[in-house]
Structure 1
Amino acid sequence: MQLLWTQLPSVPDAEGFASPFAGIGNDALLVGGGANFPAKRPWEGGTKIWYDTVFALPSPDGAWRVAGRLPRPCAYGISVTHGGGVICAGGGDAREHFRDVYKLKWNGGELAVETLPALPRPCAFSSGALVGDVFYLAGGIEAPDSTRAMHTFWALDLTRTATGWRELPPWPGRERMLAVAAGRQKGAGQGGEFYLFSGVALRSGANGRPEREPLLADGHAYDIGAGVWRRVADMAPRVAAAAATPAPVAPDGSVLVCTGDDGTKSHLNGHPSHPGFPRDVLAYKPDADKWEIAGKTPFSRATVPTVEWHGKWIVVNGERLPGYRSPDVWALEIR
């Protein structure tokens, strides 16, 4: 497997955004919302700001333009592309997390927002992916001050949205947020699978505020046809939280975990010696149930969305270091 990275035009914001929504509408790349620290960093007393601007890039060699606005400022939700638009689910702001689900549609000159059935509960920092026509969403946290992550698994059939979200059996492991998720369709008539790897569990700290536990390593696969979970190989040689999501899937079916936080440098947050997040790409091989290192990224990222566009996987903005975002947009070609 060969991983080829190229850079696309940067989003027109000096700082860039953590965890915006991203997807394809009318063959344009749409990026909306997200959060950043536009002035001081958090350890300097800076204030995080949430955004509602939606940008559009009509072609990989085009120029960004403002397409419109989200219904409200939002970040840390999950987005997928389906039916010519971008399905956006959950997320939140400084005060609350949302149940909102909507579809962004772009005709080249005007952005339209179509309301879809709300989530069963508010959530942000969840993990999700599309398998066929069904949008699957796992875990997250219900409120900004939650001291326990969610152990929920929901599905919305995007061809029959009036039926609403279905609650499915959750994976047989710890509750979590910021896990790695991916969807993979098998051959014709063979169904598909939803994968969930690593992530973060929470506990209540001494002051009653949420505190992260050591990152999880376990992996799980949900067989769409059978409706059952199975345990798969633990992530190795490292774990990953907030990696590029949904995780790219290679033509051979490998799930690629691009960068993400392995939790080993958190003691350096805010220190100039912080090296950034790991830059390796881990590949999970479903048929062999094993992990291997597939290559490197030219960047360090966490809380970053992906979208498939023009035969490549696009990695949009995200955190380059704790407290620092990036406006960069990268394209991955898998050979």
Structure 2
Amino acid sequence: MKKQLLIWGILVFQYAISLAQSVPEYPITQGVSAPFAGFIKDWLIVGGGCNFPHKPAAEGGEKVYYDQCYALNVQSECPQWIPLPSLPCPVAYGCAIETPEGLVCIGGANADSCLTCVFRIQATESPQKFTIQPLPSLPETIDNAAATLLNGCIYLTGGNQQHRQNALYKLDLNTGRDWQKLSAYPGPQRVQPILVHDAHKLYLIGGYQAASDTSESILSHDIVCYLPETDRWEYESDIPLEENGEKRCMAGGSGTQTSTHLILAGGVNYSIFKKALDGKAGKDYLTHEPSWYRFNDDLLCFDFTHKKWTQHPNIPGMARAGGILLLHRHFLYMVCGEIKPGIRTPQITVYPLKKERDFQNNP
């Protein structure tokens, strides 16, 4: 019986994937990586990000950062992107968190500096009108971090912090006070991690620590959890291995959660990325076809209750780094990102899910 349920669950998921659809491509025609992205009601908001518009990165092109912001009503019969007010500055590599009051955008970096600014994009009573309101700034510059919302509080950690710290910060949206510094996560630095929650604790997934003059890079392939009630971190699980037995890297990946599962997508290949970080990738590293880089093209799902993983392989449009994975009305959205180092895409890929039973297929 359990085997039949497993087969049925997989067939339901594959049927959902066969219904894959798309929305209009993002207005910045070459696409962006690491933008702010999230939903305000049925409006998909995307702003900032970066790309190489004039010359490819492989040819020494200059990275450009954007302050443009756009919105798309995904429930419209004929959805079209509309421009929003510009962001306070060009920015990429920040964090965006969906809240009842709007989309909170945190930190990041641009060509001039790393940033501390925090603001919220809000809908107004007027149709198709949005405003940008400032919120308490970060106590230090942070980019390439991860954040999540739990019980009215935004938690932010990982990324490039000053003095290579591992701090965890909390902003209580109910009080509007300044950011509070909490216990640092254990182990090496985690740049470009993923942070989700199960309604009780936080899950910090993956990330990397760059090489130094005295040591090679460290790519984390595990998950550690934070318990807000005790301000304590603990080990949770390793990220599943690749099919060939190699370690899996989620750096550059993205994640979200349902009430029962966390969902991970995208990210770079462990061995290929580590060679690049350690300066061992070769002079032709940026010149290969996208498939050579072996970005993760599957969905990984972790059952919070049963502590079990399921993998849904070979999903078109998920092999992205710097893309943003969102869940809205039982649809997964993979927003922009890069298909290989230096090459972005304007595509926003959408996959319908048959509610949460798609993930309840563990034997």
Same fold (TM over 0.5): yes
After TM superposition, give the deviation of residue 139 of structure 1 in Å.
1.4
Alignment map for 1:120-159 (pairs within 5 Å)? 120-142=139-161, 149-159=164-174
After TM superposition, give the deviation of residue 113 of structure 1 in Å.
1.2
Residues 102 and 113 in structure 1, CA contact (< 8 A), matched pair in contact too:
yes
Structure with the bigger percentage of helix: 2
Equivalent in the alignment of 1:167: 181
Following the alignment from structure 1 to structure 2, what is the Cα–Cα distance between the partners of residues 71 and 17?
A: 18
Following the alignment from structure 1 to structure 2, what is the Cα–Cα distance between the partners of residues 173 and 34?
A: 29
5+ residue gaps, structure 1: 186-191
Given the alignment, which residue of 70, 84, 105 partners 2:87? 70
In the alignment, structure 1 residue 239 sits paired with structure 2 residue 249: yes
Report % sequence identity.
Answer: 26
> What SS does structure 2 have at the residue aligned with 1:43?
helix
Q: Deviations for 1:66-103, whole angstroms, at most 9, x for unmatched residues?
A: 11200110000000111231100000102211110100
TM-score when normalising by structure 1: 0.87
Q: Looking at CA atoms only, which structure, 1 or 2, has the larger radius of gyration?
A: 2
Residues 105 and 112 in structure 1, CA contact (< 8 A), matched pair in contact too:
yes
Equivalent in the alignment of 1:177: 191
In the alignment, structure 1 residue 297 sits paired with structure 2 residue 321: no
Given the alignment, which residue of 226, 244, 250 partners 2:258? 250
> What SS does structure 1 have at the residue aligned with 2:287?
coil
The number of equivalent residue pairs is 317
Root-mean-square deviation (CA, aligned residues, Å) is 2.1
Following the alignment from structure 2 to structure 1, what is the Cα–Cα distance between the partners of residues 321 and 141?
A: 22
After TM superposition, give the deviation of residue 150 of structure 1 in Å.
3.2
Residues 308 and 314 in structure 1, CA contact (< 8 A), matched pair in contact too:
yes
Following the alignment from structure 1 to structure 2, what is the Cα–Cα distance between the partners of residues 149 and 313?
A: 33
Residues 232 and 289 in structure 1, CA contact (< 8 A), matched pair in contact too:
no
After TM superposition, give the deviation of residue 40 of structure 1 in Å.
1.4
Residues 78 and 89 in structure 1, CA contact (< 8 A), matched pair in contact too:
yes
In the alignment, structure 1 residue 202 sits paired with structure 2 residue 210: yes
Residues 266 and 323 in structure 2, CA contact (< 8 A), matched pair in contact too:
no
TM-score when normalising by structure 2: 0.81
Residues 200 and 212 in structure 1, CA contact (< 8 A), matched pair in contact too:
no
Letter in 2 for 1:333: P
Following the alignment from structure 1 to structure 2, what is the Cα–Cα distance between the partners of residues 29 and 280?
A: 23
Q: Name segments (4+ residues, structure 1) moved above 6 Å.
A: none
Residues 85 and 132 in structure 2, CA contact (< 8 A), matched pair in contact too:
no
Following the alignment from structure 1 to structure 2, what is the Cα–Cα distance between the partners of residues 138 and 201?
A: 14
Letter in 2 for 1:152: A
After TM superposition, give the deviation of residue 172 of structure 1 in Å.
2.0
5+ residue gaps, structure 2: 1-8, 242-247, 274-280, 355-363
